Amino acid sequence: MITIDSYSFKGKKAIVRVDFNVPLDKKTLEVTDDTRIRGAVPTIKKILGDGGAVILMSHLGRPDGTPQDKYSLRHVVPAIEKNLGQKIKFAADCMGEETKKMAAGLKPGEVLLLENLRFYEEEEGKPYSLPETASEEEKKEAKARVKESQKNFVKQLASYADCYVNDAFGTAHRAHASTALIAAHFPGNSMFGYLIESELKAMDKVLKSPTKPFTAIMGGAKVSDKILIIENLLDRVDNLIIGGGMTYTFICAQGGKVGKSICETDKLELANQLLEKAKAKGVKVYLPVDAVNADAFDANANTQITPIDSTPDGWMGLDIGPKTIAKFREVILESKTILWNGPMGVFEMDKFAAGTSEIAKAIAEATQRGAFSLVGGGDSVAAVNKNHLADKISFVSTGGGAMLEYMEGKELPGIKAIRG
Ligand code: AMP
């Protein structure tokens, strides 16, 4: 497998899949957070620095195969130019003769951004234009049709360039034209960009060679979303900390009172099985011991702290309590490898954000003391940023779903296309 560092882009055109799916202001359509654009800069600069030209391709939002101005990547041009410190060209369509000409005329040192790939249903390979009422047969036919025309879509994208770089980790778990199919058109000339390389390095460090003790912290609303990752981690971790809404499925399964807390009653048996498996593998599981309960799912609700297994009737647990924070902090500070995915409570509401913030702080502190920390998932990353701790964490992942799937042990189509 070739690497971006060892490849010379001199005189070459590189088509680069980036993740410029950035948030835009609803009114002005200006980029409100350019983190993802900044993440792609090292790869773009390396290609330009070598004397190559860059063709950028990305999706933005979910236009479902139909061009819509609010999803146009032209809104992202100023933010890219600001981050690169140079003017870029924009092709108002990712297909078509005009774009072919623009790509052909691109000179070394120049950057061309293609319009949103998802303006074509061929990117995702899904027949969006089909009416809801279509029969199964019609659906099957339409899918086959899109898959067929997808081949030409990929071929045209590939025709613009001499080599392919995938630097969009956020979509690496999707088997789309620009992430999984295009690499086949560049045998010996496909590689990961720096961002994906660093994501893989961080995840492999945690999965394959963690310094012990290794602690995984899992939070978020539902245990059903995290079963596979927890199962995969049980063979690797020393400690498993569980927080957030999924706590209550475990507490209920153990016979505790959960009031109106979020609880997946169809997953009780599974929760107990996970606890048993952890025990059999010698993994220490830390469940919350107390909670901040609310009398309504509301930012201004009344609150009270109780032991985790005694939520009063009509109340719901929305954050971990102070005793839990102290215990989790202690475990985190003793760890040498830390993986965190999912908030400890409803951190979107200030009253229930303390648990998540304190965990973020403890992870940053452990990192300062020499631990390796990896944080992933939109909410955990948001909590890290809210507390201005991003530079105190070893690695903050840019891909929520992609990281989860990699950590579950799954093969990501965008990774496999290049790694083989
Ligand atoms: P996930 O996408 O599964 O990581 O879940 C994230 C969501 O879980 C966030 O929106 C949180 O508000 C929510 N959450 C965390 N703790 C709780 C809780 N105790 N009760 C209800 N929702 C929660």
Q: What is the pLDDT of residues 133-180, one digit of tens each?
A: 889 999 999 999 999 999 999 999 999 999 999 999 999 999 999 999
Q: Would you place residue 398 in the very low, low, confident or very high pLDDT band (cuts 50, 70, 90)?
A: confident
Cα–Cα distance, 353 to 344 (Å, whole number): 8
Measured in angstroms, how far is the CA atom of residue 220 from the centroid of ligand 1?
Answer: 4
Minimal-distance CA residue to ligand 1 atom 17: 245
Q: Which ligand 1 atom is at minimum distance from the Cα of 348?
A: 12
Place of tokens 């055109």: 13
Same domain assignment for residues 280 and 373: yes
Cα–Cα distance, 173 to 177 (Å, whole number): 12
Same domain assignment for residues 175 and 281: no
Task: Out of 173, 196, 219, pick the residue that ends a domain.
Answer: 196
Least confident of 9-13, 225-229, 255-259: 225-229
Q: Is residue 230 part of a domain?
A: yes
Q: Is residue 285 part of a domain?
A: yes
Measured in angstroms, how far is the CA atom of residue 419 from the centroid of ligand 1?
Answer: 34
Same domain assignment for residues 379 and 243: yes
Q: Is residue 205 part of a domain?
A: no
Q: Is the pLDDT of residue 132 over 90?
A: no
Query: What's the pLDDT score for residue 224?
Result: 87
Task: Out of 196, 231, 261, pick the residue that ends a domain.
Answer: 196
Same domain assignment for residues 48 and 137: yes
Query: What residues are in contact with ligand 1 under a 6 Å CB criterion?
Result: 220-222, 225, 244-245, 262, 317-318, 342-343, 345-346, 348, 377, 379
pLDDT in tens, 55-81: 999 999 999 999 999 999 999 999 999
Same domain assignment for residues 220 and 363: yes
Q: Which ligand 1 atom is at minimum distance from the Cα of 319?
A: 19
Task: Out of 171, 196, 221, pick the residue that ends a domain.
Answer: 196
Strands (DSSP E) contained in 47-136 are 53-57, 89-91, 111-114
For a pocket test of ligand 1, which of 229, 230, 311, 379 has the largest count of ligand atoms closer than 8 A to its C-beta?
379
Q: Is residue 418 part of a domain?
A: no
Q: What angle do helix axes 194-208 and 400-407 make, rounded to 10 degrees?
A: 40
Nearest by Cα to 18 from 99, 88, 102, 107: 88
| Alpha-carbon torsion angle 117, 121, 123, 124, nearest 10 | 130
Minimal-distance CA residue to ligand 1 atom 12: 346
Measured in angstroms, how far is the CA atom of residue 319 from the centroid of ligand 1?
Answer: 9
Query: What's the pLDDT score for residue 68?
Result: 96
Strands (DSSP E) contained in 137-274 are 163-166, 190-192, 214-218, 239-242
Q: What percent of the chain has pLDDT over 90?
A: 93
Minimal-distance CA residue to ligand 1 atom 15: 345
Which domain covers residue 223, as residue numbers?
Answer: 210-407
Q: Is the pLDDT of residue 300 over 90?
A: yes
Q: What is the 3-state secondary structure (H, E, C) of 367-394?
A: HHCCCEEEEECHHHHHHHHHCCCHHHCC
Same domain assignment for residues 218 and 177: no
For a pocket test of ligand 1, which of 346, 348, 380 has the largest count of ligand atoms closer than 8 A to its C-beta?
346
Same domain assignment for residues 155 and 304: no
Q: Is the pLDDT of residue 399 over 90?
A: no
Query: What's the pLDDT score for residue 352?
Result: 97
Average pLDDT, the chain: 96
Q: Which ligand 1 atom is at minimum distance from the Cα of 342?
A: 4
Same domain assignment for residues 122 and 256: no
Query: What's the pLDDT score for residue 379?
Result: 87
Same domain assignment for residues 34 and 142: yes
Same domain assignment for residues 164 and 215: no
Same domain assignment for residues 70 and 185: yes
Measured in angstroms, how far is the CA atom of residue 198 from the centroid of ligand 1?
Answer: 28
Query: What's the pLDDT score for residue 129?
Result: 80
Is residue 41 classed exposed, middle or buried when 0-12, 13-18 and 19+ CB atoms within 10 A define those classes? middle
What CATH number has the domain bearing residue 160? 3.40.50.1260
**Residue 290 corresponds to which amino acid?**
D
Q: Is residue 415 part of a domain?
A: no
Minimal-distance CA residue to ligand 1 atom 18: 245
Q: Is residue 416 part of a domain?
A: no
State the total domains in the chain.
Answer: 2
404's tokens? 């989860």
Please give the positions annotated as active site: 36, 222, 378, 401
Same domain assignment for residues 114 and 189: yes
Q: Is residue 204 part of a domain?
A: no
360's tokens? 């973020």
pLDDT in tens, 168-200: 999 999 999 999 999 999 999 999 999 999 999
Cis peptide bond N-terminal to 78, omega within 30 = no
Measured in angstroms, how far is the CA atom of residue 233 from the centroid of ligand 1?
Answer: 21
Cα–Cα distance, 159 to 415 (Å, whole number): 22
- Can you give the pTM of this predicted structure? 0.90
Q: Is residue 203 part of a domain?
A: no
**Cα dist from 287 to 62, 254, 408, whole Å:** 37, 11, 21
- Specify whether the CB–CB gap between 367 and 373 falls below 8 A: yes
Query: What's the pLDDT score for residue 1?
Result: 85
Minimal-distance CA residue to ligand 1 atom 4: 220
Number of Cβ within 10 Å of residue 61's Cβ equals: 16
Question: According to DSSP H, which parts of 297-392 are helical?
Answer: 322-333, 354-368, 378-386
Q: Would you place residue 336 in the very low, low, confident or very high pLDDT band (cuts 50, 70, 90)?
A: very high
H or E element: which one contains 339?
A: strand 337-341
Q: Which ligand 1 atom is at minimum distance from the Cα of 226?
A: 3
